[in-house]
Amino acid sequence: MSRSTSPSLALRHTAAAAALAVTAALVLPAAAGAAPLPGSPTEPVPPDRRPVATGYGGAVSTVDPDASRTALDVLKHGGNAMDAAVAAAATLGVTEPYVAAIGGGGYITYYDAKKRRVHALDGRETAPKAMKQDSFVDPATGKALPFDEAVTSGLSVGVPGTLAQWDLALRRFGTRDLSTLLTPAIKIADKGFVVDAEFRAQTAENEARFRDIVPTRELFLPGGKLPEVGSVFRNPDLARTYRELAERGPEWMYEGGLGREVVRTAAKPPVDPAATRKVRPGLLKQSDLAAYRALPKEPTHVAYRGLDVYGEPPSSSGGSTVGEALNIMGNFRLDPKDPVTALHYYLEASKLAYADRGAYVGDPAQVDVPLDELLSSGFARERACLIKPDQAAAAPVAPGTPDGRYAPCVPPGTQTRALAYEGPQTTHLVVADKWGDVVAYNVTIEQFGGSALTVPGRGFLLNNELTDFTLQPPAPGSPADPNLPGPRKRPRSSMAPTIVLQDGRPRLAVGTPGGSTIITTVLQILFNRIDLGMDLPQALAAPRATQRNTPQVFAEPAFIDAFGRSLAARGHRLAPFPGPTNGVIGAATALEFLGPELVQAVAEPVRRGGGSAMVVTPAR
């Protein structure tokens, strides 16, 4: 397969770009006291984590070495990128159970090399038919439920979309059946994996609520204790569930017994009778599962600096907001020799795009999303004219008017709404195969630990995705909110699995976890790579800042150290990112085609313990 190597994405290794790549000041959770590693040679051993791999024949990057190894094995045995992505996601359901599980959903962006076309697959969870705009409002107070009470509840559980999405993805683009692709994950669930500091930290973060849910406590707090670093964690219930899934197929979730178990768990959460926690029942019915469909969609598309950037359309806001921000940035010359000015434009473009995201993006099946206008060059020019080169606009800024009538400039507005909370925990993986197919895939159950409700005897957690809705309806006379709860509605997401083409061929693929910071992380990685001339490993490792139309720019410590004073002089108010994980924004995975058939897979070197990049045949 041939690859274009035209110079529009040339590597420009400037001193400024290299300085941006410094990450020594990133703050990560300290490792707990490590227990001895298992001594038996048949026991699992801690896998190596390599953040960069370059070679031929296919590549993968995930947050977890077991998942990456699973995908690589599929590629080595003739499977394609979609096969490998599904197998990796199933493995993440074992090794990353607090972010990836069949009780959740996600988005896939896919490049089909044979047809040279990009596709989007929407596997977002849906609300039950019985859900109303005020379902998260406490009738006693007239106010939205406290967020932690909304999360740990059956009320937050949407119809899981992952299995339907896998089914759609494999039927349309795969070459292997699901039963075959589940086999590696079953083996790992049976044999177990070695607990690392990140897994223990995520469990500790959830310990209090996990203790209150009987099957969750029994699974994730074995013996009533946090799993020790270096111990082996096994999940025989999930292995059994995957075996039955391999036999019965995804309809077991949507039309069969597994679905009934999911509905029963959400409707009657298995709370310890001795617990004082208030865990509300959900609205989910079997008919909601039967009505669910994963949706094939046209991806979003914008042109940027001679490249074609494709992303997820609504119900995700990832593609529209990344695309709009790139369109705004495209009106300016961003000089890698002046990174402070370039970063100023990145932050201001993010601010404006987030204002429009909040005002206009929701589930397009139930609200009118002006997607074409949000991604139009005319609207971008109108928004760009609000940016001053030497002064940050006071945030929050008002949304624009994407109506097709664009003046050279418009005055700043005054009405906006506060940034809605969106859980920062999910995961992302990228895969490329030897034929040039590429998958960028976000899979999630929302929070670390989702709703905290484990389906009894099944080994997986249910999502809390419905807390991505705006929980409090707006006051009378306020602007309409496109992201209110509603029957069978998909909550707005920020997931942004992104594929970049150059001359019709894939050049980059990138994505990350991070809730509403996903958009800015993907945008900043693209900005680092394309505008500041970093190579892809530098672009991922560089310290991050996120501006989501909030009064403050939240940033990692190394970013504040490098640019805080200079950006403050332009009116940006920087503050440490509060997490979780404190001081760390995202955990990206990406790949880049460097030449004919030569691909580089890249994962985080440090954040969240580092990721795992692998290639079929390493370059020599």
Catalytic residues: 426
Spatial CB neighbours of 42, under 8 Å, sequence gap ≥ 6: none
Nearest to 221 by CA among 204, 239, 238, 243: 204
- Residue 113 structure tokens: 């090399």
Nearest to 161 by CA among 445, 405, 555: 445
Residue 408, SS3? coil
- How far is the C-alpha of 522 from the C-alpha of 497, rounded, in Å? 8
- How far is the C-alpha of 252 from the C-alpha of 245, rounded, in Å? 7
- Residue 543 structure tokens: 């310290």
Helix (H) or strand (E) holding 60, with range, is: strand 52-62
Question: Which residue intervals of 249-361 are DSSP H helices?
Answer: 251-254, 257-267, 286-290, 318-329, 339-360
CB 305 within 8 A of CB 530: yes
Residue 372, SS3? helix
Residue 236, Cβ neighbours under 10 Å: how many?
A: 12
Spatial CB neighbours of 1, under 8 Å, sequence gap ≥ 6: 113, 434, 435, 436, 596, 597
Spatial CB neighbours of 246, under 8 Å, sequence gap ≥ 6: 178, 179, 182, 183, 186
Nearest to 537 by CA among 51, 36, 122, 98: 51
- Residue 303 structure tokens: 């042109």
617 - beta bridge partners?
Answer: 56
- How far is the C-alpha of 322 from the C-alpha of 521, rounded, in Å? 10
Instruction: Give 485-522 as a DSSP string.
Output: --TTPPPPB----EEEEETTEEEEEEE---TTHHHHHH
- How far is the C-alpha of 514 from the C-alpha of 519, rounded, in Å? 9
- Residue 150 structure tokens: 């909304």
Can you give the three-state secondary structure of 287-312, one letter per residue?
A: HHHHCCCCEEECCEEEEECCEEEEEC
CA 193 to chain centre: 23
CA distances from 490 to 177, 285, 360 (A): 28, 16, 15
- Residue 353 structure tokens: 């795009």
